[in-house]
A and B are shown apart, each in its own frame.
Chain A
C-alpha cells in the first residue's frame, strides 16, 4: 500500500487565502466604531486639556502682553513656597468633610423615611428632589439674600427669640452657610439613589431578621447598610469629587471671605488664573486638584473590598 501524501496547498495561493474581513475582524471594527465618538470626546475634552494644563504649568503666560515663556519648575517651586496654600487646603478639606458627612447622612435618613408606605411620601420625595433641577447660580443668589444679616433666615430665627449670626460675614458661620446651601441643593440626588437601592433589598431578609429578634437598628445595620453599600460607595465617590470642585457657591456667596476662610482650592485657582492672570500657576494648582481627586478616588475604590457587600 502506498501512502500518498497530498501536497499541501501553498499558503499564498489565492484560492486558499483566508478572507481578511473575518467575522472577528468585523466585530472588532464595529466595536471600535461604536466607541469612536466617546473616545474622540475623551481625547478632545479630557486628554488634550489635561496635556494643556501640564504644558501651561511649566510656562508663564502674560495675556495682556501676549508673551508665553517657558519657566520650567518655577510654578512648582512657587507652589511649595505658597503660604496661602495651607489655609486653602484646610478650607477645602473642611468643606468636603462637612458636605460629604451631612449629605450622605441626610440623604440616607430621608431615603429610609420616604421608603415607608405612608401617605404623602411622593410629595416629600418631589419636594426634596426639586432643588436638584434648579439652576445653581439662581439657587445660590436666593440663599445669598436669605443669609444676609437682615435676611429671611435671621428673621425666621427671630420669631423664636434667637439672634442669628451674620451668616456670610463671620468665618465659621460662612463655611457652615456654603455647606448648607450646597447640601440642600444636591441632597435630593443622593436620596433618590438611596431610595432605589433600598427598594432592591429583599423583604424576606427583614422578615427573617425580625423572626430572629433583631431590633430596628440591628436590621438597619446588619441588613440595610450591607445591601446598599455599593450605592453608598457610588454616592460617596460622587459627593467627594463634587465637593472638591465647588465654585459657584463661593463666588456668589462669599468670594472666598471673610478673610480667606471659604477660599477653597477651585476658587483659589480661579483667582490666580483668571483674576490675577497667573495662568501658569493656576494650571499648577489645577494639577494639585487633579491629584487629590485621583488619590481619593483610588483609595475609596481599593477600600471597597473591605466594606462593600457583593452578593456574588
Chain B
C-alpha cells in the first residue's frame, strides 16, 4: 500500500512536471543560446542550405550557440513532434503541415510573428487568427503533373503540352492518356503522389476540378455526399477500375523510376528527375468540369511559446525567412513572397524547370491556388475518412453509398 501511495505521489509529480513544458517565453540563460528546429526533410542538400543560413545568422549574433535542424521522418512527423512537446522537450521552432495548422494556431501553442507585407495573402490564410500571423508560410508548393513524354508518345497519345496549347488538357483527356499508356505499354498511367489508398486528402488535387470540398468552408458539415464530390470520386473510381489508368490498391508504380506516364505531385519533387533516363515535362493540373484550378501544399514554420528561447527563435525566423534567404530556399521551397514569385527568380533556383513551366505551374498556381484541406482535430478526421473510404477501393463499389457513409462517420467529429 505504501509502495502504491509512493508511486502515485511520484506519478503526480511527474505529471505536473510533464505538462509544464519548457521554461516559458523568452526564458534567458547565462550561456550561449542554442536553438532547435524540427523538420521533416532529411535531404542532405536541404540540410546543407539550412546550415549555411544558420551560419550566416550566427556571424552577427554571438549570443547564439548552436542552431540544430532535427529531422523527423515524414510519416510520423506530427506524432513525434507533439510527443516531444508533451514530454517537455519543446523545440524552439518547427515545420508544421498545413493540415495541422488549425490545431497549432487555435491552441495558442505558437508565438505571433511579424507579418511581412511582401507575403502573398493566399499563403498566410491558414496561419492567421484574430488578425495575427502565427507561422511563416515557408514552403508553398503547387501541385502539377510530371509527364513521361516517352511513354505518352509510345501510347500514341498527344503530349499534354500539345493539349494545353490546343485547349484540350482536361481530366477526361488525361484519363484517356493514362488508360492508353497502361494498355499499350503495360506501365502505369496516372499516379497520385502520396495517395497509396490511405492519404485520401491528396485526391484534393483531382476533386477540386469538380468544385468539390471534403467539408463546408466553416468546417461544420461534411460535403463528401454532395453531387460534385460524388462525380469526382466516380471519375477516380472509373479511372482505377474501368479504364485501368491508375494503379489499383496494393500496386506500386514509381514515376521517377520510369514506371508510369504521369504523377500528380508537388514541384519540389523535380529534383528526383535530375538523372531521369526518359524525357519529361511539367504541366499544370488538367481542367475539370468546374474549369481551371490549382491546389497548393504548404508548410509553415512556427515558434513555440513554451520553447526555451522563444524571443531568440522569433528573431532567427525573421532572418531565416527574409527576402535574401527566401530566394535561396526557392531552390527547393517555392517562396510566398510577391517580389520573388516570378519565373526569373524561380528559374535561378530551379535549373531543371523551364521558365514557362515555372510560370504556369508555380507562379499562377500559388497566386490562384487553394490550400489542401485542414481542420481542427485533423488526425482523427483523416483516419476516420480513411477507414470509411476503404470500401470505395473495390471494383463493384457504390460510390454514392460509400461517400454517404463517410459523412455519417465524420459529421459528429465536425460538429465538435
State the A residues within 8 Å of B (CB).
43, 47-48, 50-52, 54-56, 59, 61-68, 148-151, 166-169, 255-260, 263, 271, 274-277, 279
Secondary structure class of chain B's binding surface, majority of residues: helix
Contact B8 A149 (CB under 8 A): no
Q: Given A55-B15, A166-B250, are A275 and B380 also a contact pair (CB < 8 Å)?
A: yes
Q: State A171–B198 Cα separation when bound (angstroms).
A: 15
State the B residues within 8 Å of A (CB).
3-4, 6-8, 10-12, 14-16, 19-21, 79, 82-83, 85-86, 103-104, 107-109, 197-198, 248-252, 306, 377, 379-380, 383, 386-388, 390-391, 393
Contact A149 B251 (CB under 8 A): yes
Contact B11 A52 (CB under 8 A): yes
Contact A47 B3 (CB under 8 A): yes
Q: State A260–B385 Cα separation when bound (angstroms).
A: 11
Contact B82 A65 (CB under 8 A): no
Given pairs A51-B7, A255-B386, 16 additional interface contacts (CB within 8 A)? A43-B6, A52-B11, A52-B15, A63-B86, A66-B109, A68-B15, A149-B249, A169-B197, A255-B198, A257-B390, A258-B387, A259-B387, A260-B387, A274-B79, A274-B82, A277-B379
- Chain A residue numbers with a CB within 8 Å of B197 are 169
Q: Which of B15, B82, B383, B388 contacts A64 (CB 8 A)?
A: B82
Q: State A275–B380 Cα separation when bound (angstroms).
A: 7
Closest to B380 in A: A276
- Chain A residue numbers with a CB within 8 Å of B19 are 61, 66-68
Chain A min CB distance to B101 (Å): 12
- Chain B residue numbers with a CB within 8 Å of A263 are 387
Chain A min CB distance to B248 (Å): 6
The 8 closest A-B pairs by CB, nearest first: A149-B250, A64-B107, A51-B11, A68-B19, A51-B7, A258-B390, A63-B86, A47-B7
Contact A167 B86 (CB under 8 A): no
Contact B79 A275 (CB under 8 A): yes
Q: Which of A54, A67, A275 contacts B383 (CB 8 A)?
A: A275
Q: State A59–B18 Cα separation when bound (angstroms).
A: 13
Closest to A169 in B: B249
Q: Given A63-B82, A274-B82, are A56 and B15 also a contact pair (CB < 8 Å)?
A: yes
Chain B min CB distance to A158 (Å): 14
- Chain B residue numbers with a CB within 8 Å of A258 are 387, 390-391, 393
Contact A51 B10 (CB under 8 A): yes
Contact B82 A169 (CB under 8 A): no
Contact A48 B10 (CB under 8 A): yes
Contact B86 A51 (CB under 8 A): no
- Chain B residue numbers with a CB within 8 Å of A55 are 8, 11-12, 15
Contact B249 A64 (CB under 8 A): no
- Chain B residue numbers with a CB within 8 Å of A151 are 250
- Chain A residue numbers with a CB within 8 Å of B107 are 62, 64-65
Q: Which of B8, B108, B380, B390 contacts A54 (CB 8 A)?
A: B8
Contact B11 A48 (CB under 8 A): yes
Chain A min CB distance to B380 (Å): 4
Closest to A254 in B: B198
Q: State A109–B222 Cα separation when bound (angstroms).
A: 53
Contact B8 A51 (CB under 8 A): yes
- Chain B residue numbers with a CB within 8 Å of A48 are 7, 10-11, 14
Chain A min CB distance to B199 (Å): 11
A-B CB contact pairs (8 Å), 23 listed: A43-B6, A47-B3, A47-B4, A47-B7, A51-B7, A52-B11, A54-B11, A55-B12, A59-B15, A64-B82, A68-B15, A148-B252, A149-B248, A151-B250, A166-B249, A167-B250, A169-B393, A257-B198, A257-B390, A275-B380, A276-B380, A277-B103, A277-B379
- Chain B residue numbers with a CB within 8 Å of A50 are 7
Q: State A256–B379 Cα separation when bound (angstroms).
A: 14
Closest to A151 in B: B250
- Most B C-beta atoms less than 10 A away, residue of A55, A56, A66, A274: A66
Contact B383 A271 (CB under 8 A): yes
Q: Which of B104, B379, B388 contacts A276 (CB 8 A)?
A: B379
Chain A min CB distance to B398 (Å): 15
Q: State A257–B198 Cα separation when bound (angstroms).
A: 9
Contact B390 A259 (CB under 8 A): yes
Contact B387 A65 (CB under 8 A): no
Q: State A67–B3 Cα separation when bound (angstroms).
A: 28
Contact B11 A66 (CB under 8 A): no
Closest to B197 in A: A169
Q: State A54–B5 Cα separation when bound (angstroms).
A: 12
Q: Which of A63, A166, A260, A276 contacts B85 (CB 8 A)?
A: A63
Q: State A271–B79 Cα separation when bound (angstroms).
A: 10
Chain B min CB distance to A206 (Å): 49
